[in-house]
């Protein structure tokens, strides 16, 4: 794990005064019921799409220490126009080794092995794949597999892509609330199983059957997926998140992928590994993908 990874991991544990108030105090948790409601996020979203919201951009760049040299130079029409900005060509390059598993997005990565009973643990909270997918038969297909959680923070690039060539098997949208995805919320709420989310089930060329899920977050009622075609290519853009940090969750079946040991070790130490879209995070397993028994 390099110096940059350690620094970012530590920064992710800092929560601003509002978030600490909402999640760590009794009055805050009463107010949280209002803030996590979808109408509030929609109102907030209307402002972030307005011309007036452009006034927030300069301070946000400075506070989040965003390197704007990575991004196309343009005048933004709103804060959300800035937030969903595109990188310059060549800034997010996918591995040319097709057996490599690339990251679908920028983010802070946690890797968890899925147990035989289709559960996994993240930062002290236990999740079931069924609660995540709300489809028990599908969840059972990922028993013994791998769950990857990419937590995006406001300084990250907020567009995401497909990791391999393949085709769409099915898709689903689950209505929910909108908790923050910062670690502070995970101590009290199973945020990934409660938040609004969308996912597709994919048949990929090199990594078998997989799930890619987008999870909304506090003040992010908008998961903007592009209209899906039946097939896709490695590196094709799938969509983007509007304002705020959020999360991509990926599920792979048993023996489909080998995740780099460093990522598992960082997870065991309660650390997140910093990745960029297209970075190699593992590879295709050479073992035959088989049903878990």
Active-site annotation, residues:
106, 246
For the packed helices 17-24 and 26-35, what is the interaxial angle rounded to 10 degrees? 100
Residue 260 token pair: 């780099």
> What is the three-state SS of 153-212?
CCCCCCEEECCCCEEEEEEEEECCECCCCCHHHHCCCCHHHHECEEEEEEEECCCEEEEE
Residue with structure tokens 């983007």? 240
Q: At residue 24, what are phi and psi to the nearest 5 degrees? A: -115, 0
Closest by Cα among 111, 91, 113, 67 to 279 = 91
CB 197 within 8 Å of CB 215: yes
Give the position of tokens 């506070």. 63
């Amino acid at each position: 794990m390099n110096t940059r990874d350690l620094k970012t991991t530590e920064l992710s544990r800092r929560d601003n005064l509002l978030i600490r108030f909402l999640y760590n105090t009794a009055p805050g948790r009463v107010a949280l019921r209002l803030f996590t409601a979808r109408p509030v996020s929609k109102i907030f979203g209307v402002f972030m799409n307005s011309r007036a919201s452009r006034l927030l951009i300069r301070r946000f760049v400075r506070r989040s220490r965003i390197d704007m040299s990575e991004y196309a130079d343009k005048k933004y029409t709103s804060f959300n126009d800035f937030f969903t900005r595109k990188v310059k060509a060549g800034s997010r390059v996918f591995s040319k080794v097709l057996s490599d598993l690339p990251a679908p997005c920028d983010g802070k990565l946690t890797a968890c092995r899925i147990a035989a009973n289709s559960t996994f643990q993240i930062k002290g909270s236990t999740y079931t794949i069924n609660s995540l997918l709300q489809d028990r038969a599908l969840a059972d297909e990922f028993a013994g597999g791998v769950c990857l959680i990419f937590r995006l923070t406001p300084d990250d690039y907020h567009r995401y892509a497909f990791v391999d060539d393949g085709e769409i098997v099915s898709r689903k949208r689950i209505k929910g609330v909108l908790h923050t995805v910062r670690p502070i919320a995970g101590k009290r709420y199973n945020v990934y199983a409660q938040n609004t989310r969308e996912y597709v089930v994919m048949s990929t060329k090199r990594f078998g059957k997989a799930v890619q899920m987008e999870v909304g977050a506090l003040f992010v009622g908008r998961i903007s997926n592009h209209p899906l075609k039946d097939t896709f290519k490695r590196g094709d853009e799938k969509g983007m998140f509007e304002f705020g940090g959020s999360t991509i969750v990926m599920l792979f079946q048993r023996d489909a992928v080998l995740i780099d040991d460093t990522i598992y070790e960082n997870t065991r130490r309660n650390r997140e590994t910093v990745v960029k879209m297209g970075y190699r995070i593992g590879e295709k397993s050479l073992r035959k993908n088989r049903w878990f028994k």
